[in-house]
Amino acid sequence: MMAPSSENKEHFVLEREYFQKLLDTLIQRGYRVVGPTVGEGAIVYTKLNSVADLPIGWTDEQDGGAYRLKKRDDQSLFGYVVGPQSWKKFLLPSALRLWQAKRVGKSFQIIPEDEKSQKFAFVGVRSCDMHAIAIQDKIFMNGQYGDSHYKSRRADAFILAVNCGKAGGTCFCVSMNTGPKTTFGFDLAMTEVLEGNRHYFVAETGTELGAEILHTTPHKKANKEEIFYADDVIKKTAGQMGRSMDTTDIKNLLYKNYEHPRWDNVAERCLACANCTLVCPTCFCTTVEDVTDLTGEHAERWRKLDSCFTMDFSYIHGGSVRSSTKARYRQWMTHKIATWIDQFGTSGCVGCGRCITWCPVAIDITEEARAIRESEPNLKRETAEGAEKTTHNHKEGI
């Protein structure tokens, strides 16, 4: 997917020196501003107090099973791709206390968790991650699996998207139709431009609130040249994808191949470590754990992120349904890019590449899908003539 033309939309320019003012406005309005910083040898998300917290002048190099930070030769604020964390760190925390129980006489009093209202401002949301948030919104904001904790964290979240200025070695958002330009879901979206001696952001507003926040910060209407440079940044990023996935009729490709020998092949390499599910911005499976203290006076129930790669995950009365690594990898990949479509009307993969980068043995979902497809030449020919494309499920706003 190429970046949509920017010709008909109103664009503004915010000079780099005013980015702090933008953060200040969000902080003054009571937002808990979170975004990228350098920590633990990677770009991670944390509370931001100032522009100095951003990964100024840093970038990342990524490949299968490999990630390293590197200095850039400029002072870009958002010159990296994506790190191991996604916004689910805040929307779907890895551990969340649900309630406590306190002994009162011979009984227990349940104390529901009184989660303080969390008014987040997410700074630096990439297009693939905006799609991932939209997928989780669809599941947790409403409907059968609506989740009050997710809703309270998501409802008032301000989204400042930043379009990618470079693609990583494991990115494949273009083939998933999920990037690199953010096209929906944001309050404000920006493209960082470093051109000659100038450093500025070309901004689009997505909501009235986004416009209001922008108007608190010195800015001007963008001219044609500035818009051209911003579009060019996105165009170049789209041309740098490290990976691609052919999604043509991918659902049926996997449904037809439950017994494909490739599942044995990948099982010989997979450590069932669960890294891929933990870094994936759309994986959301959880478990609950009850804990008590030694006095027997106090107990707590916690919700924790779980993974279909653990034996316990599919334990049902007497044994695990998916006891082999082969069964667990097949379950994960088939769910991500096939059964998810039947369940939620969209692919569960947004092409961020995290599962490839953070797999300790460099297993690559695009490569596994390709290996299965290449053994199915007829399917490829039939569907190339216009059958369903999974990427069509990644509609705006999902």
| CB neighbourhood size of 375 (10 A) | 13
Q: Cα dist. 299→106, 107, 138 in Å? A: 14, 12, 33
Q: Contact, 215 vs 18, CB < 8 A?
A: no
Cβ proximity to ligand SF4: between 36 and 281 the closer is: 281
Write down the least CB distance from residue 324 to ligand SF4, Å. 13
Cβ proximity to ligand SF4: between 79 and 281 the closer is: 281
Kindly list the residues in this chain that would bind ligand SF4 in the complex (CB under 6 A): 270-276, 279-282, 309, 336, 349-355, 359-361, 363, 365
Write down the least CB distance from residue 250 to ligand SF4, Å. 12
Separation between Cα atoms, residue 332 and residue 309, nearest integer Å: 8
Separation between Cα atoms, residue 47 and residue 33, nearest integer Å: 6
Across the chain, which distance is largest between two alpha carbons, in Å? 75
Cβ proximity to ligand SF4: between 27 and 272 the closer is: 272
Cβ proximity to ligand SF4: between 155 and 321 the closer is: 321
Task: Report the DSSP beta bridge partners of residue 161.
Answer: 125, 189
Write down the least CB distance from residue 336 to ligand SF4, Å. 5
Write down the least CB distance from residue 334 to ligand SF4, Å. 12
Q: Contact, 186 vs 125, CB < 8 A?
A: yes
Cβ proximity to ligand SF4: between 121 and 133 the closer is: 133
Write down the least CB distance from residue 366 to ligand SF4, Å. 8
Q: Contact, 154 vs 91, CB < 8 A?
A: yes
Cβ proximity to ligand SF4: between 48 and 132 the closer is: 132
Cβ proximity to ligand SF4: between 33 and 133 the closer is: 133
Q: Contact, 179 vs 127, CB < 8 A?
A: yes
Cβ proximity to ligand SF4: between 230 and 333 the closer is: 333
Cβ proximity to ligand SF4: between 62 and 163 the closer is: 62
Three-class SS of 248-272: ECHHHHHHCCCCCCHHHHHHHHCCC
Write down the least CB distance from residue 35 to ligand SF4, Å. 19
Write down the least CB distance from residue 276 to ligand SF4, Å. 3
Cβ proximity to ligand SF4: between 76 and 346 the closer is: 346
Burial 217-245 (b: 16+ CB within 10 A, else e): bebeebeeebbebbbebbeebbeebbbeb
Write down the least CB distance from residue 97 to ligand SF4, Å. 27
Cβ proximity to ligand SF4: between 258 and 377 the closer is: 258
Write down the least CB distance from residue 271 to ligand SF4, Å. 4
Write down the least CB distance from residue 67 to ligand SF4, Å. 13
Write down the least CB distance from residue 353 to ligand SF4, Å. 5
